[in-house]
Structure 1
Amino acid sequence: MGNSILLQTALALPNPDIEALIQGRTIAAMPRMFLNRGRTFALYPANLSVDLLPYEQHYRSHFLPIAQKALAQLNSDRVLIKAWARCESCKPLDNPEPLDLEALSRLTIWKTEGLQQILLQGRYIFLAHLRIYLLPQPLEMSVQSSGNFVSLPKSLTVTDSTPVLSESIFAKRSHKLKTFEPPEHPELEELQSALVHLSTTNPKAKQLEAEIKMFLGWSEKLPAAKPDPDLDWIKTIAQIGNSSDGNTFEKLVRKSCVKLGFANSNTNPKASLNPESTGGAGGLDFYCETPYPVAGECKASKHESVPNSVTAQLIHLGLTHLGQDRFDRSVKIILAAGPLTNPANQAAIGSKMNVIRPETLQKLVELKAKQPGSIDLLQLKPCLEQQPFGEEADAKVNRYIDDVREKLKVRSHIVQLVKDFLERTKSTSVEFNQLHGAYAFSMSPQPLKYEEMHQILIELSSPLTGYLGRIKGEDLGRDRFYFLRDLPLDD
């Protein structure tokens, strides 16, 4: 539930600054007076520091669209209070060096020129580190004269259970601000701001923008992800494969191949991957060109045995439409619900054909839909090219799926281990040597060698994954890692 706090006043800050605090873009504020550590207050949106400077001169260029929008939201009669804060530290910047102002600007939303102008006006710069918490419901109140603090129309009892940033990430951000360490990824900050405009109309831009915010440490939760709409048809693969509707099953198989990442230029309708059509009379049921060739036949119906004519047809149509060389280089798959007759199975083994059940295909495509980066077709290729073939091939594909799931479990466990360690120790990062020891004594899915675990941590801290952050050390064991976002598993 969190600790209960009674709020009676609100600190007046420029509305753009409050929006930046709520979004996790910054933890810094410039109150017009000194704030005692531990003091709590709501955040009252006003038009303060920008009344002496045009906002274009006050805020950094990448923040200007957000500042403009925040200022436009100000109402002459009513204000909306969305959050409250606890002051974690506050100090005046006495005669700061120009380089200090530049460093402060890089870590915040304010321009160096704007900070210099404040000092030229004879004002102090009080720099406060604020821990921000969201109110369960915004409070609407009438506009008050903008002193340093305004009285709330009624006392608010709040809890500290909804922080914008966790304690460990806030501590890391606060340390950077105190020491004026430069931001690690300024180019990503620029990209995130550019995506703000697109995110209102483009769902993919919105998702990317949210992921960048998490990687930068501005946010710890992605917006509630909507299930992949393709799951609606993916969940019918086994059902249709076990029916007599061979035409629909063939289309579902083609859609599945595309979903997994296979492609085909579709220049030959008899060796196609177009999910809206079928191979038709005399055509292959599906053919993939990239990242490697796959030729296949589909046979729906659970209650019918698959005769040898299906394997013979795959060979005949493959040679007809692909030629000997391309067909020989192709992975060969028969997707069938019913059992193969003994002659058909022997022919499939002899021709190196994988016989895969609709249930297995559904599991593979579901995993791809729920964990988009989990299925690597180039890692799947050796599985399909190696023995066993025939009906026993279904078991090896299931082993591949189980192996992928185990790898995901290990990675999810490591991410959670970092998160728990930092929360427990109140640290901002953990050294790899410590983490390796903690992993050995945790309820881990499987043991990992020293170098193997480090390699996984490098993978998880890549900007392309962004589950963890990494601070490179003098050697492998001295590398430090910190939490950015969860890696949830959906079984």
Structure 2
Amino acid sequence: MSLVNIDRAIRLPAPDVEGLIQGRMIAAIVWRTFEPGEQYALYPGNVSGNLPYDQYYRSHFLPAAQKALAQLDSDKVSIKAWARCEGWQMRDSESLEAVSRLTVWKTEALQQILQQRPFIFVAYLRVYLLPQPLEMPVHPSGNFVSLPKSLNVTDSTPVLSESIFAKRRQKLEKLEPPEHPELEELQSALVHLSTTNPKAKQLDAEIKIFLGWSENSPTAKPDPDLAWISAIAQIGNSSDGNTFEKLVRKSFIKLGFANSNNKPEASLDPESTGGAGGLDFYCETPYQVVGECKATKSETVADGTPAQLIKLGHKHLQEQYNCCIKIIMAAGQLNGHAKKTAIGNHMNVIRPETLQKLVELKAKQPGSIDLMQLKPCLEQQPFGEEADAKVNRYIDEVREKLKVRSHIVQLVKDFLERTKSTSVEFNQLHGAYAFSMSPQPLKYEEMHEILIELSSPLTGFLGRIKGEDLGRDRFYFLRDLPLDD
């Protein structure tokens, strides 16, 4: 971290400043060459030229451009960031279309600018946020604006990390085509939704990170379901059987189970529990699960609980009952007769604490629980109370997988920051992994498969540049994979 003194601002169109602050682009159109290392605050002004703003900016950026212009005030201006010039290039008419694809400007707007000058100067700006906006009077004209007082700031708040900025700069310098233009269009469609829909806002943020427009995830709000999830064990170890049954049903829905059955006696609806004579929970998809709940304070679980499951299962599901995975959710120990009945009828006895751990993992790491991988744990011996250990082993295995993946993401990030590179070849990364404090050893092909998984557009923790063969694939960092124990 270094201290920086800023006493002047460079005037740029307000939408351009917004694009730089959002990380949507790393360049500005300037009127002369800039020396690398020149530093200025970013002063947002009106769009110059004869074109209206909706003909100046590309469609996916128009909502942001309109908002930035609407925020301009006739009396004062708000400065939110400063930038350091990292280099510049001259562009002629042959390169304008490629420049447009990598920025927020339309080709037509760039062509109009070029009619007034022999070349377009494109400056590459590394942007840093100010700790708080600087309010100052509007300066009516001039490319540079003197600040009312010097700003003493640090470079500790970059919009983009050094490695991501370098990668983006390389693409713009070499005029490489954007990798995911369709996602840029999707992101623009989410702008209006994201102000009122939390899920759209989260998806918007994830897409920006994947596109390299942003590096840091927004401060993720804890899953609101954690409030009731954290009560599963407590309620299961009480005498409140009705509430426990509702929590178990909500848990199975949270895990991804479903039931289209409208019959209250064989349902998964938390608001319409089975009641007397009905099953405590029944799942149809992705596979059939039927169960009985027994909330207890301290007493043992009698033979009546597994016997009840057998009786009601055959009554309401008939021949389907034999195809079901059978679970008893119980806090107390089973007595001798109950153990024999449970084991003899292939019933898994699972404690409320274990269910809570499973659902908490799902809430904190949404993609971590694969119900098809959980299924063999519930179908195979041992049954009875020892089945609880099977589910706990599955939870431990999932956590170990997450640790490996988090370690690999961090390894890529650290390697790029240390070497000042934009990407790392798989062969190099595999070697670095072998000598790192890794959670577990990985075979060559196994590690590559995990990297492919992490660089999928559906996960977006890493990016991938496909090589001539497996070892030549290159990977770059997009976002962290935090672990929440």
Measured against the shorter chain, the TM-score band is over 0.9
Residue 343 of structure 1, CA deviation: 1.7
Q: Secondary structure at the match of 1:406?
A: helix
1:163 equivalent among 158, 163, 167: 158
In structure 2, what is the Cα distance between the partners aligned to 1:338 and 1:418? 47
Q: Does 1:68 align with 2:63?
A: no
Question: What is the CA–CA distance in structure 2 between the aligned matches of 1:415 and 1:434, rounded to whole Å?
Answer: 14
Is 1:252 aligned with 2:232?
no
TM-score (normalizing by structure 2)? 0.99
Structure 2 residue corresponding to 1:343, chosen from 337, 341, 348 = 337
Structure 1 match to 2:206: 211
SS at match of 1:453: helix
SS at match of 2:266: coil
Match of 1:242 in 2: 237
Per the alignment, residue 130 of structure 1 pairs with 125
Query: Residue 161 of structure 1 aligns to which amino acid in structure 2?
Result: S
Structure 1 gap ranges (5+): none
Return 478-487 or 305-314, whichever deviates more.
305-314
The amino acid that maps onto 2:24 is R
1:384 & 1:92 partners in 2: Cα distance?
65
User: Aligned partners of 1:386, 1:146: CA distance in 2, in Å?
Assistant: 77
Preserved contact between residue 93 and residue 111 of structure 2 (Cα < 8 Å): no
Equivalent pair of 1:40/1:86 in contact (CA under 8 Å)? yes
For structure 2, list consecutive stretches of 5 or more residues without a partner in the other structure.
none
CA contact (8 A) 1:430 1:481 kept: yes
Aligned twin of 1:56 = 54
C-alpha displacement of 1:8? 0.5
Of 76, 79, 84, the residue aligned with 1:78 is: 76
Instruction: Determine helix, strand or coil for the equivalent of 2:30.
Output: coil
Partner of 1:11: 10
What is the CA deviation profile of residues 2-37 of structure 1, one whole-angstrom value per residue up to 9, with x for unaligned ones? 100100100000000000000000001001222111
Q: 1:96 corresponds to which residue?
A: 93
Residue in structure 2 matched with residue 480 of structure 1 by the alignment: 474
Give per-residue Cα distances to partners, 1:262-308, cap 9 Å, x unaligned.
11113211101011122111110000011100000001114111111
Count of equivalent residues: 485
In 2, Cα distance between equivalents of 1:30 and 1:448: 48
The answer for the alignment partner of 2:268 in structure 1 is 273
CA distance in 1, matches of 2:71, 2:129: 19
1:254-333 maps to which residues of 2 (within 5 A)?
Answer: 254-324=249-319, 326-333=320-327
Once residues 274 and 48 of structure 1 are traced to their aligned partners in structure 2, the CA distance between those partners, rounded to angstroms, is 56
* 1:6/1:156 contact within 8 Å kept: yes
% identical aligned pairs: 77
Whichever residue aligns with residue 230 of structure 2, its letter is K
Judge conservation of contact 1:46–1:146 (CA < 8 Å) in 2: no
Aligned residue for 1:292, secondary structure, equals coil
Offset of residue 145 of structure 1: 2.6
Q: After TM superposition, where is structure 1 displaced by more than 3 Å over at least 4 residues in a row?
A: none
Cα deviation 1:352-396 (Å, max 9, x = unaligned): 100000000000011011111111111100110011100000001
What displacement does 1:48 show? 4.0
- Alignment of 1:107 with 2:102, yes or no, is yes
Letter matched to residue 253 of structure 1: V
Contact 2:21–2:127 (CA under 8 A) maintained in structure 1:
yes
Cα distance in 2, alignment partners of residues 91 and 251 from structure 1: 64
Contact 2:187-2:208 at 8 Å conserved across structures: yes
Q: What amino acid maps onto 1:460 in structure 2?
A: L
- From 371, 375, 400, the counterpart of 1:381: 375
In the other structure, the counterpart of 1:370 is 364
Give the Cα separation in 2 of the matches to 1:456 and 1:285. Answer: 39
Q: Deviations over 1:129-184 (max 9, x none)?
A: 00000000100000113211110000001100000000000000000000000000
Matched to 1:81, the amino acid is I
Retained in 2: the 8 A contact 1:5–1:158?
Answer: yes
Q: Distance in 2 between matches of 1:240 and 1:69?
A: 49
State whether structure 2 residue 398 is matched by structure 1 residue 404: yes
Tell me which residue corresponds to 1:446. 440
TM-score normalized by the length of structure 1: 0.98
